[in-house]
Amino acid sequence: MIKVFVVDDSAVVRQTLQMLLQDDAEIEFAGAAPNPLIAAPMLRKNKPDVLLLDIEMPGMDGLTFLRQQMAECPIPTVICSSLSTEGSRVALDALAAGAVAVVAKPRLGLKQFLEDSRRELVGALKTAARAKPRLGSAPRPAAASASVRQAVVPGLHALSVNKPVVIGSSTGGTQAIEQILLSLPSDAPGIAIVQHMPEKFTAMYAQRLDGICAMRIKEARDGDRLERGVVLIAPGGQHMQLRKNGGQYYAAVADGPPVNRHKPSVDVLFKSLAGATNGDALAIMLTGMGDDGARGMKQLHDLGVRTIAQDEASCVVFGMPKEAIKLGAVDQVMPLDGIPAAIAQFDARG
């Protein structure tokens, strides 16, 4: 049984969640509190398997409480947050602080929404129960990159050497991607990323990373060129592929049905690269639940593309890397902190 504790200032939400969660045979409703100040001693007395946490609450906001909890006694946490502009920004901060997942909730029609979204919510809680909570990265000033970002000179090297790096990730991936990108220089190879995220989150996620990393990071648009010093993040709710034209790679962003239950899908990105590359590329599979990307990585591996999977010890959820390894799609398994050096080594091969 997965013990779930709810912290939300709305009595309607708490009551609705209790009814929804009690209907699942694998979940036990372990209690609820209207705010973090009341929840804290209850959690110390009886630690749940998963914490379902609201953001906007009186007394202490959910983000402050999450950071405090992760520092003192980490609990796998799912954020249930509004997808307003401010709510999305705070939810991203929560993912950076160590939350496993975010479930969107509207400001109006909340009870009906929770009932309609029961499957998504229960799935997020079960995923979180399998996760290994990790401390979030320390907050960084938004202007940190101003002192480290340098313009990429469009010389012979930048124009002729076009060796793309593709990355796929899901649960726990927001932190993992941030750790990798913070370690890369401004002229690192172009990187295309699929991170499973809700539609309204990816643009803000890219903006957040762009403010703290040396590389230029943006939510991909159809036709964007993948060049040195640039990171393209697939927009939530759309698939991203890579096309090659005149020796250069371009993003093709379009709608379509979910693949492996995801949109964007890692498999869509990886398989598109398999149809465009001559083998001079690098594919990386990071933490995440499920098997999205495993088959695409196998295609790349069979073409001679170098493939790397994050190791179990450093993953929040060792699902996607494990499935790729089982398919024989991975050349090397390594801890998260070794991946920036692997990208640099790949780039230095010439």
Question: What pLDDT does 279 receive?
Answer: 92
Q: Two tokens at 45? A: 């007395």
Annotation marks residue 337 as catalytic: no
What confidence score (pLDDT) does residue 146 get?
41
Please state which architecture CATH assigns to domain 151-348.
Answer: 3-Layer(aba) Sandwich (3.40)
Lowest mean pLDDT among 115-119, 220-224, 292-296, 342-346: 115-119
The closest alpha carbon to 137, from 204, 213, 62, 35, belongs to 213
Q: Are 265 and 294 in contact (CB under 8 A)?
A: no
Cα-Cα-Cα-Cα dihedral sign, residues 294, 296, 298, 301: negative
Q: Which is the catalytic residue, given 81, 82, 145, 170?
A: 170
State the maximum Cα–Cα separation within the chain, in Å, rounded to a whole number: 63
pLDDT of residue 141: 41
What integer pLDDT is reported at residue 152 of this predicted model? 52
Q: What is the 8-class DSSP label of residue 49?
A: S
pLDDT single digits (tens) 200-236: 789 999 999 999 999 999 999 999 999 999 999 999 9
pLDDT of residue 156: 43
Residue 196 among the catalytic residues: yes
DSSP secondary structure of 237-260:
TSEEEEEEETTEEEEEEE----BT
70-125 confidence digits (pLDDT tens): 998 899 999 887 655 555 777 788 888 889 888 877 655 666 766 667 787 888 89
* Of 81, 93, 196, 301, catalytic: 196
**Closest of 135, 215, 168, 206 to residue 310, by C-alpha:** 168
- 2-129 placed in CATH 1.20.1080.10: no
Task: Give the sheet arrangement for strand 50-53, strand by strand.
Answer: 27-33, 2-7, 50-53, 77-82, 101-105
Phi, psi (deg, nearest 5) at residue 210: -60, -30
pLDDT digits (tens, 9 = 90+) for 15-47: 988 988 888 999 999 999 999 999 999 999 999
Residue 59 tokens read as: 């007394």
Query: Active site residue: 54, 210, 224, 292, which one?
Result: 292
0.95 exceeded by pTM: no
Residue 60: partners with Cβ closer than 8 Å, 6 or more residues away? 35, 36, 37
Domain boundaries, the chain: 2-129, 151-348
DSSP state letter for 165 = E
Residue 140 has pLDDT above 80, yes or no: no
Residue 240, phi then psi, degrees to nearest 5 = -125, 130
Please report which confidence band the pLDDT of residue 251 belongs to, taking 50, 70 and 90 as the band edges: very high
Q: For residue 85, what are the contacts with CB-CB under 8 A and spacing of at least 6?
A: none
The answer to whether residue 224 is catalytic is no
Domains 2-129 and 151-348 share a fold: yes
Query: How many whole angstroms separate alpha carbon 178 and alpha carbon 316?
Result: 14
Using only C-alpha atoms, the chain has a radius of gyration, in whole angstroms, of 20
Do 282 and 306 contact (CB within 8 A), yes or no? yes
pLDDT 10s digits, 302-331: 999 999 999 999 999 999 999 999 999 999
Q: Is pLDDT of 197 > 90?
A: no
